[in-house]
Amino acid sequence: MTKDEKWIHDHFSDLVEKYAGKYIAVVEDKLVAVGDSAKEVKEIGKRKYPKAILSILNVPREEDFICLL
């Protein structure tokens, strides 16, 4: 697991609460972009950190966790 993946894991509940249904980009343990598409957050992240490898996530909504048996 990368440092950014660990950061996402550690902050997952907060991310779902604040950014459900959005895309986020994380670089160097920091949230650097939030948007409506992966393309949008990639562009924002690359402008801020052109040489970094971005960790991009589509933040699930709470209802995405509901399972029906």
| Residue 67, in any domain of the structure | no
Residue 43 has pLDDT above 60, yes or no: yes
pTM of this structure: 0.88
Kindly indicate the confidence band of residue 68, based on its pLDDT and cuts at 50, 70 and 90: low
Distance CA 69, CA 52 (A): 42
Residues 6 or more apart in contact with residue 66 via CB below 8 angstroms: none
Sheet holding 30-35, edge to edge: 30-35, 23-27, 55-58
8 falls within a domain: yes
Is residue 64 over pLDDT 90?
Answer: no
Provide the residue range defining the domain that includes 17. 3-60
Looking at the 3D structure of the chain, how many domains does it have? 1
Does the residue 47 lie in any domain?
yes
